[in-house]
A = this chain, B = another copy of it.
Amino acid sequence: MNSCIDCLPCLLRQTLEAARMSTEDVALQETIMREILAELAAMDFDRTTPIISGKIHEIVRRHTGVVDPYKSRKDLSTARALEFCDTWARSAVEAADPFDAAVRLAIAGNVIDLAALTGITHHEIEETLRGSLTAQIAGDSIEAVRAEVEAASDILYLADNAGETVFDRFLIERIGPHKVTYVVKGYPSINDAVLDDARHAGLDELVSIIDNGSDVPGTVLELCPPEFRERFAAADLVIAKGQGNYESLSDSDARVIFLLKAKCDVVARALDVPTGSLVVKIKCA
């Protein structure tokens, strides 16, 4: 899907955060903001938001030399998610319809920005996760997801943020790890998971992991190296987590199951669901 002028304030907020996380030099932060404003003034709205976002983070990186500004935040997210993974979350999955619960937790991982929740208690996070187990799902059904993954034998599972990576474990276990290749970003991009983050989450012991060779917060195939594009084309099903993957793959010709929270009006409109919904969307090839 294309970006639009609604994305501008949000992109600018993202820039500000990245600039602040990369340098404490206020004059440098200002220089970065000015360059990005000029970039946005000339930007092509026919490009997807992850492409523009990638360009923004490239500018921040060029000015500051900081390659992974979200590293400590990603580590915190992963650590907090792991606290839930093998205690409450595993028993929640086992107590319910395990496939249904696993899909819901994979989406719920996308709901909570664990690193942002420093003032929020363990109990409150658990309540949010628990809420996802009974929340209404917008778009398509989890039953349809079950049918899709049962019929597929080579599934690419496109990860999103570092923290939520932890919650992908249950769904991969239910699908069968032998059928799944887990895909992280090639280089740091906001708080998206790279190989190290997936290892922190313990996923390397469960499933085969590759990276997409790219540094944008989504899966923009034309920016990925040929090896990844071939691997993508060879899979018979793609599971894509989060808004960035939806924005970049909604117009692709692959068979994709999108699992996400529709966090903003632009994406919610494109999906035809209420803003804030937990969404399952199955796109035919």
Cβ of A95 under 8 Å from chain B: no
List B contacts of A22 (CB < 8 A). none
In the complex, which residues 110-126 of chain A have their Cβ closer than 8 Å to any Cβ of chain B? none
Interface bits A24-55 vs B (CB < 8 Å: 1, else 0): 00000110011101101110010000000000
Binds B, one of A7-15, A65-73, A209-217, A222-230: A7-15
Taking A37-B41, A38-B37, A38-B41 as contacts, is the C-beta distance between A16 and B12 under 8 angstroms? no
**How many copies of the shown chain assemble into the complex?**
2
List B contacts of A42 (CB < 8 A). 34
List B contacts of A19 (CB < 8 A). 5
- Nearest residue in B to A19 (C-beta to C-beta)? B5
Cβ of A97 under 8 Å from chain B: no
Cβ of A86 under 8 Å from chain B: no
The prevalent SS among residues of A at the interface is: helix
Taking A37-B37, A37-B41, A42-B34 as contacts, is the C-beta distance between A9 and B6 under 8 angstroms? no
Q: In the docked arrangement, what's the CA distance between A35 and B13, Å?
A: 19
Q: Which of B8, B29, B34, B35 lies in contact with A12, CB distance below 8 A?
A: B8
List B contacts of A6 (CB < 8 A). 16
Q: In the docked arrangement, what's the CA distance between A34 and B37, Å?
A: 9
Nearest CB on B from A265, distance (A): 11
Nearest CB on B from A64, distance (A): 15
Nearest CB on B from A274, distance (A): 13
List B contacts of A41 (CB < 8 A). 34-35, 37-38, 41
Q: Which 9 A-B pairs have the closest CB atoms?
A: A37-B41, A9-B13, A38-B41, A9-B12, A9-B9, A5-B33, A37-B40, A34-B41, A37-B37
